[in-house]
């Protein structure tokens, strides 16, 4: 035990005063004579014994009263179990992600409890302590230490952040200089990331304050996708919403709503077993054009921050068609509608490879021997990657003298051979159940006339061929993202190009090849957005306008603009990408679904994963009172002056009672 003011202990010498008074009774006595004193002498002896006992008790009470009064003024305390690092610098890492909207008690949000704990920390340390407040936003105010008044003012301004931070990100932001670090978080398993097990050797002191969330089931939107992602605007489609129940509670009859452009477009009822997924399907209304705002919503308590999911339905992009041809212009006539298609044609020796790499559909029409640069740009390993720009879908229309060795390098998995047929053959009726022909034929008649053709190449049997000859050999096949035609578009070899089925088949190829330049939604954990800007001119920056107006960091690459997502200043919702008066697109931002996974690490487990050193400790945040007391015991010690003062008053009361009632 130590004393805050040990000089007051000199006042203990005042205990001699009651002792002196007790030893020297200065009261004058009066002698009274009696005729017979034998009986009085016996009474006097008994009274003296009782009086001496009373005097001793009163003396002890007075001495103890004075003793504990002196001790109270000396302010005794038990030394702190832990010492602050030199410089009295404290960093408070406050997790303000959306998961902190969850409850930790009756009507108490985790974020409110965290702010209250932060204020307790600030109020308990000495006035000369400097503080740094670090939130998930990594805002500029976290770059420097603040005074007590400044940090309390900042705590009143804390708002929820859509950003989740891993331990590694927090550690790098704090730096390596010695300091006291209070990390207040719910320690979600999904967002904490990899922990530094060497933290036990650090000169920093890490104080973990785990916020224990109430156990609750939660339903979240796992993904949203179109049944046919290559549909052209105005056609029928189905929006699939995959929901996930990450709790142990079964959810029956969960009503999911779809709102498009602020108008409710459909509802669906979903049953979700514990830790399972289910898909809700919504028929999209026909006639949707341009950019459309779609919101998927449902009611789920008590975790409600992820009850809405934002999706953009973009039907405004033109389909980019690039043809490399030698001779006929049948393809150009098909894709002449400039409102739907952006068509470009090149001769074999004069191809712009930059335009080729940005096309949705590349058509090789009647090329005898494609050169190496052309075939290199159209390699099969460039197809199918729809997360980046590059050759999308390839249509090969052979010539009479096609170099099959070159074409074999473009069509992996098929053995191309010259056809031995020399006569026109009629094509068989298409498979009307094939999704490729959906919405192509109004009447599905078995007697419909079909085109005729002479195949110049043969690749054997293909049961999944889109169009076949009567003998079962393929006429039009699709191998991954490559379409292959058996006959050239030459009137001597085929009348396919002049048949009524030609245009809808080509349109379906284009629709299949269509790649929207931006995704239907972006998670706020992602880093960049790519927008198409064909007509972008000048140096005016692209601006995101929605709940906030933000000018993100950006760079241009041809007709593309790459935007860095400004995580700290963007809330979930819809944002228009604009340049002055022009609108480039509509973007939807959603919370990272990892934030909805509420499973937590315990404080002791986090300490163990961090190395379990003496510089790492865990605080009990079950209640504000216990948290405050634990802070005082660890850093300020346990003050005992209150107990000494109470004992002093008790002995003063005992003295009064002894004098009053002890006869």
Q: Where are the domains of the chain?
A: 2-79+640-661, 89-215+599-622, 219-314, 319-513, 522-590
Mean of the pLDDT values across residues 129-155? 91
Q: Which is it for the CA torsion 269, 275, 276, 282, positive or negative?
A: positive
Does 68 have pLDDT greater than 90?
no
Residue 329 has pLDDT above 90, yes or no: no
pLDDT surpassing 70 at residue 355: yes
Closest Cα to residue 577, out of 539, 549, 542, 623?
A: 542
Calculate the CA dihedral of residues 655, 659, 662, 663 and round it to 10 degrees. Answer: 160
HSE (side-chain half, CA atoms, 13 Å) at 598: 28
Q: What pLDDT is stored for residue 156 in this prediction? A: 92
Which stretch, 33-37, 69-73, 171-175, has highest mean pLDDT?
171-175
Average pLDDT over residues 616-640: 68
Q: How confident is the model at residue 324 (pLDDT cuts 50, 70, 90)?
A: very high
Tokens of residue 33, six digits: 């004579």
Q: Are strands 457-458 and 452-453 parallel, antiparallel or unpaired?
A: unpaired
Provide the pLDDT for residue 648: 86
pLDDT value for 387: 37
Q: What is the mean pLDDT of residues 215-242?
A: 79
**Cα 591 to Cα 571: distance, rounded to the nearest angstrom:** 8
7-10 own/partner pairs: CB under 8 Å, 24+ apart: 8/70, 8/73, 8/74, 9/70, 9/71, 9/74
- Rounded average pLDDT over 240-251: 90
SS3 (DSSP) at 600: strand
Residue 612 has a pLDDT of: 84
**Alpha carbon distance 625, 628 (integer Å):** 5
Mean pLDDT, rounded, of the chain: 82
CA separation for the pair 98, 661 (Å, rounded) = 66
Q: What's the pLDDT at 34?
A: 63
Confidence of residue 178 (pLDDT cuts 50, 70, 90): confident
Beta strands in 59-156 (DSSP E): 76-78, 89-94, 103-105, 108-109, 130-135
The closest of 626, 617, 602, 579 to 207, measured between CA atoms, is 617
pLDDT tier for residue 162 given thresholds of 50, 70 and 90: confident
Least confident residue range of 4-13, 116-125, 266-275, 561-570: 4-13
Q: What is the pLDDT of residues 297-314, one digit of tens each?
A: 999 888 888 999 999 987
Return the pLDDT at 621.
63
Give the lowest-confidence range in 181-195, 241-255, 370-384, 439-453.
370-384
Which pLDDT tens digit goes with each residue over 588-603? 999 988 889 988 999 9
pLDDT of residue 388: 37
Does residue 626 or residue 226 have the better pLDDT?
226
CA angle 592, 594, 599 (to 5 degrees): 150
The CATH number given to 89-215+599-622 is 3.40.50.410
Checking if the pLDDT of 497 tops 80, the result is yes
Q: How far is CA 515 from CA 319, 384, 636, in A?
A: 8, 10, 64
State the residue for tokens 């292959």: 484
* Token duo for residue 280: 């809700």
Classified as helix, coil or strand, 336 is coil
Cα–Cα nearest to 314, from 341, 290, 332? 290
Task: Give dist(CA 564, CA 530) in Å, integer.
Answer: 9
Positive or negative torsion for Cα 616, 622, 627, 633: negative
Share of the chain above pLDDT 70, in %: 83
Band (453; pLDDT cuts 50, 70, 90)? very high
Given this chain, do its domains 89-215+599-622 and 319-513 carry the same CATH topology? Answer: yes
pLDDT of residue 384: 42
Q: Which two tokens stand for residue 469?
A: 């000859």
- Mean pLDDT over residues 217-239, rounded? 77
Three-state SS letters, 431-472: CCCCHHHCCCCCCCCCCCCCCEECCCEECCCCCCCCEEECCC
Average confidence (pLDDT) over 146-162: 91
pLDDT of residue 121: 86
Max mean pLDDT range (7-16, 608-617, 634-643) = 608-617
Exposed, middle or buried by CB within 10 Å (0-12, 13-18, 19+), for 486? Answer: buried
Question: Whose structure tokens read 């001769």?
Answer: 347
- pLDDT greater than 80 at residue 235: no
CA 310, chain centre distance (Å): 14
Say how far apart CA 209 and CA 620 lie, in whole Å: 7
H/E stretch holding 576: strand 573-579
Of 119-128, 262-271, 291-300, 471-480, give the lowest mean pLDDT range: 119-128
* Whole-number Å distance between alpha carbons of 605 and 596: 21
Q: How many residues make up the chain in this entry? A: 663
Q: Quick check: 27 pLDDT over 60?
A: no
Which has more pLDDT, 558 or 523? Answer: 523
For every residue of 209-255, DSSP letters joined together read: EE--PPP---EEEEEEEESSTTPPTTS-EEEEEEEEE-SSS-EEEEE
Query: Which class is domain 319-513?
Result: alpha beta
The model's pLDDT over 549-582, given as tens digits with 9 standing for 90+, comes to: 889 988 887 667 889 988 777 889 999 998 887 8
pLDDT, average across residues 528-548: 80
More confident residue, 245 or 19: 245
pLDDT at 28: 52
Structure confidence at residue 338 as a pLDDT band (50, 70, 90): confident
User: Of the candidates 245, 242, 201, which has an alpha carbon nearest to the alpha carbon of residue 225?
Assistant: 242
Higher-confidence residue of 357 and 35: namely 357
How far apart are the C-alpha atoms of 585 and 570, rounded to whole Å? Answer: 17
Q: For residue 81, what pLDDT is reported? A: 58
Dist CA 618 CA 604 (whole Å) = 7
> CB of 465 within 8 A of CB of 477?
yes
Q: Which CATH class is domain 219-314?
A: mainly beta
pTM of the predicted structure, to 2 decimals: 0.65
Question: pLDDT-based confidence at 375, cuts 50/70/90?
Answer: confident
Q: Which of 244, 243, 180, 190 is nearest to 213 (CA)?
A: 190
Query: Which pLDDT score is estimated for 390?
Result: 42
- Taking the C-alpha atoms of residue 470 and residue 231, their distance in angstroms, rounded to an integer, is 30
What integer pLDDT is reported at residue 350 of this predicted model? 85
For residue 323, the model assigns a pLDDT of 92
The pair of structure tokens assigned to 155 is 């705590």
Predicted confidence (pLDDT) at residue 402 exceeds the cutoff of 50:
yes
Percent of the chain with pLDDT over 90: 25
Those residues whose C-beta lies under 8 Å from the C-beta of residue 485, and which sit 6 or more positions away, are: 395, 396, 397, 398, 475, 476
């Amino acid at each position: 035990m130590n004393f805050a003011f040990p000089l007051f202990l000199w006042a203990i010498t005042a205990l001699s005063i009651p002792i002196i008074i007790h030893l020297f009774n200065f009261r004058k006595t009066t002698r009274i004579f009696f005729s017979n004193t034998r009986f009085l002498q016996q009474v006097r002896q008994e009274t003296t014994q009782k009086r001496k006992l009373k005097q001793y008790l009163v003396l002890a009470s007075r001495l103890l009263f004075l003793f504990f009064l002196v001790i109270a003024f000396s302010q005794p305390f038990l030394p702190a179990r832990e010492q602050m690092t030199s410089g009295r610098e404290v960093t408070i890492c406050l997790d303000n992600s959306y998961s902190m909207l969850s409850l930790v008690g009756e009507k108490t949000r985790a974020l409110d409890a965290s702010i209250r704990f932060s204020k307790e920390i600030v109020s308990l340390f000495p006035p000369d302590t400097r503080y740094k407040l670090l939130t998930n936003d990594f805002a500029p105010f976290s770059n420097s230490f603040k005074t007590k008044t400044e940090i309390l003012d900042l705590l009143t301004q804390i708002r929820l952040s859509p950003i989740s931070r891993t331990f590694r990100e927090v550690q790098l932001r704090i730096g390596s200089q010695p300091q006291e670090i209070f990390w207040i978080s719910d320690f979600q398993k999904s967002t904490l990331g990899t922990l530094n097990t060497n933290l036990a050797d650090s000169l920093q002191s890490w104080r973990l304050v785990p916020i224990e969330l109430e156990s609750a089931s939660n339903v979240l939107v796992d993904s949203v996708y179109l049944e046919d992602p290559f549909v052209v605007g105005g056609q029928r489609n189905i929006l699939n919403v995959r929901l996930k129940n990450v709790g142990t509670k079964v959810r029956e009859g969960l009503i999911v709503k779809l709102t498009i452009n602020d108008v409710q477009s459909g509802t669906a009822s979903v049953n979700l077993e514990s830790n399972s997924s289910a898909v809700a399907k919504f028929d999209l209304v026909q006639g949707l054009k341009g950019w459309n705002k779609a919101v998927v919503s449902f009611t789920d308590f008590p975790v409600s921050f992820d009850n809405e999911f934002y999706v953009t339905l973009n039907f405004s992009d033109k389909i980019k068609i690039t043809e490399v041809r030698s001779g006929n212009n049948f393809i150009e006539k098909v894709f002449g509608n400039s409102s739907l298609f952006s068509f470009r044609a090149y001769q074999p020796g004069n191809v712009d490879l930059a335009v080729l790499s940005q096309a949705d559909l590349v058509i090789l029409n009647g090329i005898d021997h494609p050169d190496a640069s052309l075939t290199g740009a159209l390699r099969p390993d460039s197809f199918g990657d729809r997360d980046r720009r590059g050759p999308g879908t390839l249509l090969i229309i052979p010539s009479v003298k096609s170099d099959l060795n070159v074409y074999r390098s473009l069509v992996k998995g098929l053995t191309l051979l010259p056809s031995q047929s020399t006569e026109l053959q009629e094509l068989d009726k298409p498979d009307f159940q094939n999704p490729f022909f959906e919405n192509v034929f109004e009447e599905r008649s078995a007697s419909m006339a079909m085109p005729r053709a002479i195949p110049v190449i043969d690749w054997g049997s293909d049961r999944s061929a889109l169009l076949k000859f009567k003998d079962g050999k393929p006429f039009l096949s699709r191998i991954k993202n490559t379409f292959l035609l058996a006959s050239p578009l030459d009137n001597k070899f085929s009348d396919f190009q002049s048949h009524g089925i030609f245009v809808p088949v080509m349109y379906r190829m284009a629709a299949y090849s269509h790649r929207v330049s931006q995704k239907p939604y972006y998670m706020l954990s992602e880093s960049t957005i790519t927008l198409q800007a064909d007509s972008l001119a000048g140096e005016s920056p692209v601006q995101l306008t929605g709940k906030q107006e933000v000018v993100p960091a950006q760079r241009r690459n041809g007709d593309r603009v790459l935007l860095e997502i400004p995580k700290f200043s963007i809330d979930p919702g819809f944002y228009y990408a604009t340049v002055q008066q022009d609108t480039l697109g509509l973007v939807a931002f959603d919370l990272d679904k990892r934030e909805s996974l509420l499973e937590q690490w315990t404080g002791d487990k986090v300490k163990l994963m961090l190395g379990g050193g003496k510089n790492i400790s865990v605080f009990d945040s079950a209640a504000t009172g216990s948290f405050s007391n634990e802070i005082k015991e660890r850093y300020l010690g346990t003050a005992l002056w209150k107990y000494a003062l109470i004992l002093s008053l008790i002995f003063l009361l005992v003295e009064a009672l002894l004098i009053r009632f002890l006869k």
